[in-house]
Structure 1
Amino acid sequence: MSSVKGSKQYSMRVVPHRPALRLLRFVLLLLVLALLAAGAYVWGYWQASGGNVPTGQSREQLQVQLNEAQSESERLRQQVANLRMASEVDRQASEDVRGEVIELRRQIASLEADISFYRGLMAPGESGGGLALGDITLQALGAERHYRFKFVVQQIATDHQVLNGSLSVDILGTNASGEVERLPLQQISPDYSENNIKLRFKYFQNIEGELTLPPGFEPQQLELVASESGSGADSVERTYGWLTDQSQ
């Protein structure tokens, strides 16, 4: 074989072709890389856990502690719920007691008024006897301008006899135009068809019912006139301010 003068000559060697050996080397390389990756993972886990790898026994202990913590948390939540319920019960009980106290005070005041009234009936004192008008009650109801009323007519005497007579009731105020107006009770109360309400009693008589004021009317006073029928008839007149009880 001829050669070109001046060029470098390389020696040639014949190498057997073995594809299985090349594949084996590649598989071994992958295995080494996998082992290195696994070792790095174990090293990192060991460092993160403080150098201690939890055993099966320690995992069981951690699970027990977790269960105990969850039970304690549930117990505390239940205790908080019980305290809230007890607080609500106490608050409701306090409201109920306050309402009962208010109602008892109202009943006591009503009984004291009744005692005073009956004392006046049985011991007229300086009044000398005859007709008398007691206190009135005006109570605002749920509907606007709607009221419940109660008037008391009584006989003051040392020797009570059946008394016959009549009672007239007028509401004085101003209408929507600002003019003074007088409204007879029969015009604003469905409980009475005439303004002269019949009286017949020995000690006292209650006049009760409901009334509704017309729109634009502003009440100012109540005027009551009680008259006894028969010879030597007695009469009494009394004017009250328009004061209502807003408790209901």
Structure 2
Amino acid sequence: MSTRPTPSAVARTGFGLIAALLVFLLALVFGAWGVWQVARGGHAAPGDAGATDALAQRVATLSRSDEISRAANAKLQSTLAEREEQIAQLKADVDFYERLVGATGQRHGLSVHALQLHRQPGGAWHFSAVLTQNLDRAAVSTGTLTLAIEGSRQGKLETLDWPTLRQQPAAPGAPYSFRYFQQIDGDVFLPAGFTPARVTVRLQPRGGAVVEHPLTWAEATEEAGAPR
């Protein structure tokens, strides 16, 4: 099991941006030096073989400098795009944490905040569920998580329970234990010819009532961009 990214990662993202900018600036300086070399060699007297060779070398240097500058710029643009995406995700995480544990956040008991399913090779699907609770901030929520998937196969309705999805008789549920929130990850397997339509997350807290959170298959796979 794993937790979502922490807001402290924002600082590391800033350092990455600074490093990328420094590489780009160094490439520009190198390119400017090449231009200056060509300009300096442009005053050589006609017919001077040595000067001509030197000028050709400087032109080659300038060409290489331009290639380096272009490559550095492309890398910088790619790095900036990646960092912007990371920063947006981190900001969303910070907003989520503030709403959950902040003084003005709405209080609620054990619940499923989100569920995502990603297709894997061999008929497997990786699931990632975020569980939350802030009703009792002094308590630790402990229990197990299971999934059930409804769909059809050969024209008949069918529900795949947790042992079937895990391909393991009497498979134990995925354990959870947290105070405010936790991300639970795992894999399930769909049989060939099965068309999923609905997935239900079931939480069995220790000493408490079962909590169920149903979603359509489209809702569970839409954010992940998975083919349905």
Q: Which bracket does the TM-score occupy, shorter chain normalised?
A: 0.5 to 0.7
Detail structure 1 runs of 4+ shifted over 6 Å in the superposition: none
Match of 2:134 in 1: 156
- Residues of 2 paired with 1:181 and 1:105: CA distance? 43
Any idea what SS the aligned residue of 2:114 has?
coil
The aligned runs of 1:84-95 (5 Å cut-off) are: 84-95=63-74
1:136 aligns with 2:109: no
Any idea what SS the aligned residue of 2:61 has?
helix
Q: TM-score, normalised by structure 1?
A: 0.54
Q: Which has the higher contact order (CA 8 A, sep 6+)?
A: 2
Q: Is the 8 A contact 2:149 2:161 kept in 1?
A: yes
- Shift of residue 207, structure 1, vs aligned partner: 0.8
- Residues of 2 paired with 1:186 and 1:89: CA distance? 56
Match of 1:105 among 84, 104, 109: 84
Change (3 A) 1:160 1:114: farther
Change (3 A) 1:125 1:222: farther
- Residues of 2 paired with 1:116 and 1:214: CA distance? 39
- Shift of residue 161, structure 1, vs aligned partner: 0.7
Q: Is the 8 A contact 2:114 2:131 kept in 1?
A: no
Q: TM-score, normalised by structure 2?
A: 0.58
- Shift of residue 109, structure 1, vs aligned partner: 2.5
- Residues of 1 paired with 2:118 and 2:54: CA distance? 53
Match of 1:238 among 190, 214, 220: 214
Any idea what SS the aligned residue of 1:241 has?
helix
Listed one character per residue, the Cα deviations across residues 186-208 of structure 1 (whole Å, up to 9, x for unaligned) are 555689x7263233322222211
Unaligned runs of 5+ in 2: 1-45
Match of 2:96 in 1: 117
- Shift of residue 71, structure 1, vs aligned partner: 4.5
- Residues of 1 paired with 2:105 and 2:194: CA distance? 40
Change (3 A) 1:213 1:130: same
- Shift of residue 214, structure 1, vs aligned partner: 5.0
Match of 1:3 in 2: none
Number of equivalent positions: 178
- Shift of residue 90, structure 1, vs aligned partner: 1.8
CA RMSD in angstroms, aligned pairs only:
3.9
- Residues of 2 paired with 1:167 and 1:209: CA distance? 10
Change (3 A) 1:221 1:236: closer
- Residues of 1 paired with 2:149 and 2:98: CA distance? 30
Change (3 A) 1:187 1:107: farther
- Residues of 1 paired with 2:77 and 2:67: CA distance? 15
Match of 1:203 in 2: 180
- Shift of residue 131, structure 1, vs aligned partner: 1.0
The aligned runs of 1:1-248 (5 Å cut-off) are: 68-69=48-49, 71-72=51-52, 74-123=53-102, 128-139=107-118, 143=121, 148-173=126-151, 177=154, 181-184=158-161, 187=164, 194=171, 196-210=173-187, 215=192, 217=194, 219=196, 221-230=198-207, 233=209, 235-239=211-215, 240-243=219-222, 245=224
- Shift of residue 94, structure 1, vs aligned partner: 1.9
Match of 1:43 in 2: none
Q: Is the 8 A contact 1:162 1:201 kept in 2?
A: yes
| Structure label with greater radius of gyration | 1
Any idea what SS the aligned residue of 2:148 has?
strand
Aligned-pair identity in percent equals 26
- Residues of 2 paired with 1:94 and 1:146: CA distance? 39
